[in-house]
Every structure is written in C-alpha cells, then in structure tokens.
Structure 1
Amino acid sequence: MNKKLVALAVSLAPFTSFAANYSVDARIDAMGGAGTVASDYLAAGFHNPALVALEPHSSFGVLLPTLGVQYRDPDDLVDALEDFGDVYDRFQADATSETNRTDAANALSNLQNKVAYLSGGIGGAVAVPTNSISGNLFVKAYTEAVVLPEVSDSDITAIENSTTSAPTLTSEARVLAFGLVDVGLALAGNIEFMGQRIALGVTPKTQKLYTYHYQVSVEDFNVDDWDADNNRTEESAFNMDIGAAWQNGPVRIGFAAKNLIANDITTTNRWARQYTYELKPLMTVGSAYVTDLFTMALDIDLNEQTRFAQAAGPEIKDNTQMIRFGTEFNAWGWAQARAGYMLDLEDTLDGTLTLGLGLSPFNTVHLDLAAQLIDSNSYGGSLQLAMTF
C-alpha cells in the first residue's frame, strides 16, 4: 500500500473534504454510488433532494459523521516521484558513474505518461420528514486532486549523454487540487399526478470553492508541500440542486440535477501556467427495486463531468461520465451486506468494485462501512454513523 499517497489523500480531507458525483455516503459508496433513488432521507442532500419526502413517516434522524477517502495510483507514481529526487542526488554527486547515469535516465523515463488521482470527503446531516414539507439540513466537504509529472524527452537525452556533470532539468511535477464545501437545506414534498405519488425536491445551498496548484522541478517534488497558502485560491458562490422520485410498490425511478449554476475557479497566478476548474451541472437518472430485504439500484450520468482545463500545456484527462450499479441485502433491519460496481464511460478511471457492511441494531443506531477495490495500488474506504429516533 502506498503510504505517501494515503497521507496525501487524508491530508486533503481536513481543509474541506469522495466521489465523482460529489457525494459523501458510506452506505451508497458500498453500492457503487447508485444513490439517486436508492439513498435514504438522511443522505438525500448528497444525492437527490426529493428523497427527503419519499418516506414521509420516517423518524427524525442525524447523520454524523460520514467520511471517506480514495486514491488511484496504479503505476505507483507518487513514490516514483519522491524516489527520483534521491536517484538524481546520487547522479549529481557522481555524474561520471555509468550506473548513476543509467539509474537517473531510467527513473525519469519511468515517470512519463503516468497520473494519480485522489479524493476525500466528510459530511453530516439532520433530517426531519413530515407529511407536508420534509427537510434535510446538511453540510458536506469534498476534495479531489490529480498528481502528474511533465517529463521532457530532452532531459532524458541530456542525462544519457552527460559524462562529467548532471544537467539542469526542465521536467516538472505538479499537484492540482479542487475543494468544495456545500451547506444546504434540501426541501421536498409529494404531489399526486394521474393517481401516482411523485416526490419533488430542491436544495438551495452556499458553496466555498478552493483550488491548489503546486508546481516544482521534478527532482524536488515533495508530497508534503502541495498545500502551502500561496498555492491556494478560493471563492464563494450560491448554487442549487433539484430532484424528483416516483415509487410504485418496490419500483423507484428518479432524476437529480446537481449544481445547476455553473461556476469556474482559476488556480493561482504564482506559476506561468494557470488552470480553471469547471464546476458544471451534473444530470443523473436512477432506478431501483426496493424491498425490506433487498435493494438493487442503477444510476447513469446523462452528461460528462469536466474538471481542470488549461489554455496551454498537456491536456489533463480527468473527465468522467459514470454508470453505477449496486445491491443491498438487509437481514431484517439489523445488518446489511452491500456490493456494487462503477464504470467510467470516458475511460479516465478504471472500473471499481465496491463492498460494504452495515449494522443497525433496533433500527436506531446505524454504522456503515464501505471499501473500493480498484487494483493492487488503488483503494478507497468510507464509514458513517447515524441515529434515528
């Protein structure tokens, strides 16, 4: 397990901060993130505000905390970046050594065309279902980052051809991070349409947006230095989510639109190159089959979700459009086993298997754990605690 990458992912969470759909919910994380209609009223603010009213006879509830972290580093990039500094130091100390020269050239070449992704989140909510207008007051904070080197072929050639001294490198490494804090009130009610009950919801919310841009020569990369204050920008904004959910027996169908007001935030002008994070609306449709003992859910993003863009430099492949599938087996309200799968239609992220467990004694205390299994060097996990009265 990459301890340095875990440290970076965890360090992202405290200043704001799990998922490509900006949700924070260990139960739904274990179900592949398919929460548009399968989530409950406690986490409705994270997925679909209409869900606050879908079960109007539910109890008053508190969700606190829910938190998670995920890292994807299939090529062990972060360790390779930090190890390169030591390799290059040895080469600088004795540039006449053929072994040092070969090690330095190979180590730099090994950084090419690699990228690591990280995310972390934390949140909480208080929900009050009623027969008229139900409400869910929530706060969630989310951060995601991309770690990427920009290796110059000329640097590799210069190392290979040097005989007396180490060349000055132009290759760079950078961390780009985005943070989002939402404080919102999800409000929902039910209407009758052609004999069917439909829950409609809206979430006005305030937002705080952050970016970090850490840039350094590739031989000086240090994972602990990314969050210096002069690497940060921040802005405040207002936004809104809307949602709808229809239920007929065990069948549910719904729709959610998050962040209806598009917002951009640009990274610091400290460096020659600036990046813009594009927070745009995300539209998702969902369906689910829900009974007391079994739930099966499917979510599909209707549009691509963009992230960092730049006017110059290599393109950053961080766009996603997800399909999420999940199941839950409920042992008479006392314990739950969950599994799911996430697939990225843009092929930015590898497919992800999700697993989880829940404990809910007396249907009062709810403890949920989730794990994400991606590859041998990419993992994720989340947990949450809730009380219903």
Structure 2
Amino acid sequence: MNKVSILALSISSILLASNVSAANQVADATGNAMGNTGVASAGYLTAPFYNPALGADFKANDDFAILIPAISVSARDTSDSLTTIDDLQTSIEKYENSGSTSTAELNKIDGYLNQLDGNQPFAVTAGIGLAIALPAKAVSSNLFARGYAEIIATTDIATDLDIVDRYTNSTVYMLAFDYVEVGLSLAKEFIISEEQFSFGITPKYQKMATYAQRVTVSDFDISNYNESEITKNAFNLDLGAMWYKDNFRAGLAVKDLLSQSIEARGNGLKDTYKLDTQVTLGLAYASEYFTAAIDGDLTKQTRFQNQNDNTQFVRFGIEGNAWDWAQLRAGYEIDLQDTLDNSITAGIGISPFDVVSLDIAGSYAGNNQFGASANLAFTL
C-alpha cells in the first residue's frame, strides 16, 4: 500500500469511525502553521483545543462561531520503510507467481529485507476537530469534539540464511491508539487587583481504544490495524488560566487532569498506552497586525510505554494579519525528548469580512516527515 493510500485511510478512519484518537494532537491549521502554539495565542473558537480560559477572549461584536471541521494528518517514515515494504511485497508476489524459480526476484527480496533490518519505526497520525462557540460576558461556552488516531509500526527481520525462510519469518508489528473527546468548555474574565485574568474549565467525555497486531511482511497492510481492539471510556477535566497586560499575555493549560492508561494486546504483543496529564505554559504578544507566541510543555507525554516514543515540546510561532482579510504564518517545533525531529511549519489564512475563515498549514521535518492541516470556520 503506498503512502497516499495510507494517509487517505487515516483520514477516512477518523471521519467514518465512531472511535477516533491521539495525545494532544490538535487539528487546527492556525496553530499548526504557528509551530502548534496556542496556549496563549489561540482564538476563542479553538480555545478547548489549547486552553479553555481563552474562550473569554473575544471582541465586542463576536456573537457566534462554528468550526466545521478542522482536519490534520502527519506521517513519519525516516527510513522509508513503507516504500521498501511495498516493493518487497511486489517482489514476493512475483517470486511466488514464477513457481519459486526466479533467482533475480529472490535476490531482490533479500536486498529489501536487508534495507528493512534495523529501520526506525514508522508512524501515521490523523486528527479532526469540531467546535461551536457562544462568547458572552457572563460565561463563554464552547461545545466541541476532537479526535485523532496514531499508528506506529516496526519491522522485525529474521536472520535465516535461507531467503524464503527469512521473508516467511520476518514480521511487522503495529500498535495503534484511537481517541475521541466531547466536552463543554466554559470561561469567564475577571479583574483582580486591577489586573485582567480569565479562567476556564472543560468537563469532557473520553473514549479510547488500542490495537496490537503482528503479521508477516508479505501480509502487512496498515489498513488492518484495527483487527484487535480494547476500549475504555472515562470522564476528564481540562483547566486553564490567562493573564493579559496590554498586548502581552501569558497562559497556563492543564489537559487531562485525570491521567489515563489502557492496555494494548494482540498476537502475542502487549503494551500500555498512557494519556498523561499535560501542563503547558504559553506566552504571546498579540496586536492587530502581528502575533508572536511561544509554548513550552512542562510535562512529557509517554504514549506507548514500551516504544520509547515520549515527547515534550517547545514551540514558536508568528502571524502577520492583513486587516483581518488574510494571514501569513510560520513556526518551529522542538521535541526535547528527541523522539521527533525539529519541525518547520507554515501556513496561510483567508478571512474575507472576518466572517468566513479558510486556513491551511503544512509542516516539514526532513526526509519522509511531513504534515498538513486545514479548517473552515464561520464567525458572526
């Protein structure tokens, strides 16, 4: 299966399935373009995705907003394993269709297995977000849903001297996590000792699912990742706080106050996915024509316990705004755990009359590591 098919699969699985997933994966092209910042710089419509306290940050003429929808997808395959597996499966099929007599194909198979031996894990992530916001001085509210899916796969290449035995005994094991949350975010502004603050809280319902599978390299198909399933439902809370001083602002967000864990089992594989409490500090400068932001994770995200896939980010982002009609954005993201390569992000926004907003973003982190997102929003 080629990479385009895999990305299409990831998006369709989120759009069509009732259980979607990911750890702090935010589908928001505005924040994605700005290095995935947003704790102190996001708008009130996407506040539940970053910091619920931002729901109280709106203009006097803002009455209603809807996000329908935001979609994101990213892929990481630094060793180009997906292409190699696709080529390997083609050679295996040709060899077996030849009556198992083609020495040339057999040598190709051995070469592809050598390429896969010791390769880094490859991963695909996709997400979606929806929101309806009603800003108000009394209490601002935002009804939202967010989901994502993470799939990670690793090759285990046999050392048999016989090439047929080698490809027969070589396997790929996949682990996947699906996540969906639905909640109501509430926020209110306060003046305390002549300083402007806002605070927010988000009660939410979570549905999580894990999958584990081990298959031979010849039978590997990433679309079959969900053949084994373990599910878990939970109630959780997000908390947020903001401080405003002229054009400067600072925010603190606590996501998933109640940490969760769920087992992944199947085909002899066993692991645990951890949805840890995530605490992030954000700083921003926001004016009519320019915004700059920096976010820093104060905690790390564990994810699969046995896969060494921990992440902890520092993010930077800027935006230039042309009279609320068009926006140009850029950013940079650094993983302090060195699981992911540093990522460059960029994007544009088009918002005629500041009523309809179309935002597009992309990210690049070196060979075979890329991402894209887009969203459509209406504000009244």
**TM-score in same-fold range (> 0.5):** yes
Structure 1 position 324, deviation (Å)? 1.0
Q: Displacement, 1:184?
A: 0.7
Residue 332 of structure 1 corresponds to which residue in structure 2?
Answer: 323
Q: What's the counterpart of residue 211 of structure 2?
A: 212
- Same amino acid, percent of matched pairs: 37
1:172 — aligned with what? 171
Taking the aligned partners of 2:47 and 2:261, their CA distance within structure 1 comes to 25
Partner of 1:88: 92
Give the aligned residue type for 1:148: T
Matched, 1:232 2:232: no
Q: Which residue number in structure 2 is paired with residue 313 of structure 1?
A: none
Change (3 A) 1:168 1:345: closer
Q: Which of these residues, 240, 244, 250, is aligned with residue 243 of structure 1?
A: 240
Q: Which residue of structure 1 lines up, in the alignment, with residue 129 of structure 2?
A: 123
Which residue does the alignment assign to 2:69? 65
CA distance in 2, matches of 1:73, 1:328: 29
8 Å Cα contact 1:18/1:70 also seen in 2: no
**C-alpha distance in 2 between matches for 1:95 and 1:106:** 17
**Residues of 2 paired with 1:36 and 1:167: CA distance?**
50
Q: Provide structure 2 residue ranges, at least 5 long, that are not aligned to the other structure.
A: none
Aligned in 2, Cα 1:75/1:18: closer, same or farther, shift over 3 Å? farther
1:6 aligns with 2:7: yes
SS in 2 for 1:87: helix
Kindly provide the amino acid, as one letter, of the partner of residue 135 in structure 2: P
1:105 aligned residue: 110
Shift of 1:276: 1.2
Deviation at 1:138, TM superposition (A): 0.6
Which residue is 1:162 aligned to? none
Query: Helix, strand or coil for the counterpart of 1:318?
Result: coil
Q: What residue is the counterpart of 2:292 in the other structure?
A: 296
Deviation, 1:277, is 0.8
- For residue 29 of structure 1, what is the aligned residue in structure 2? 32
What residue is the counterpart of 2:44 in the other structure?
Answer: 41
Return the letter of the residue paired with 2:29: A
Q: CA deviation at 1:98?
A: 5.0
Q: C-alpha distance in 2, partners of 1:94/1:100?
A: 11
Q: Unpaired runs of 5+ in structure 1?
A: 160-164, 311-315
Of stretches 55-64 and 327-336 in structure 1, the one that deviates more from structure 2 is: 55-64
Confirm whether residue 141 of structure 1 aligns to residue 147 of structure 2: yes
Aligned AA (2:248): V
**What is aligned with 1:190?**
189
| Alpha-carbon distance in 2 for matches of 1:345, 1:354 | 17
Q: Tell me what 1:348 maps to.
A: 339
Q: 1:273 to 1:227 in 2, by over 3 A?
A: closer
Maintained 8 Å contact 1:56/1:134: no
Deviation at 1:88, TM superposition (A): 3.3
Say whether 1:283 aligns with 2:283: no
Distance 1:61 1:168, change over 3 A: closer
CA distance in 1, matches of 2:223, 2:379: 40
CA contact (8 A) 1:150 1:173 kept: yes
- Report the Cα distance in structure 2 between the residues aligned to 1:296 and 1:255, rounded to whole angstroms: 17
User: What is aligned with 1:76?
Assistant: 80
TM-score (norm 1): 0.90
* 1:333 to partner: Cα distance: 0.8
Q: Deviations over 1:7-37 (max 9, x none)?
A: 3433442224497623221111111110001
Residue 271 (structure 2) pairs with residue 266 (structure 1): no
Deviation at 1:261, TM superposition (A): 0.7
Match for 1:151 among 153, 157, 173? 157
Partner SS state of residue 111, structure 2? helix
TM-score of the pair, normalised by structure 2: 0.92
C-alpha displacement of 1:84 = 1.7
User: CA 1:328–1:19 in structure 2 vs 1: closer, same or farther (change >3 Å)?
Assistant: farther
CA–CA separation in structure 2 for the residues paired with 1:309 and 1:79: 27
CA distance in 1, matches of 2:113, 2:297: 38
1:169-221 Cα deviation digits (max 9, x unpaired): 33210221111111011111122222211111110000110112232012221
Cα 1:7/1:128, change in 2 over 3 Å: closer
| Counterparts in 2 of 1:376 and 1:12: CA distance versus 1, 3 Å | farther
Query: What is the aligned counterpart of 1:321 among 308, 312, 323?
Result: 312
Distance 2:140 2:28 in 1: 20
Q: CA deviation at 1:6?
A: 2.2
Q: Kindly indicate whether the alpha-carbon contact (under 8 Å) linking 1:298 and 1:325 is maintained by their aligned counterparts in 2.
A: yes
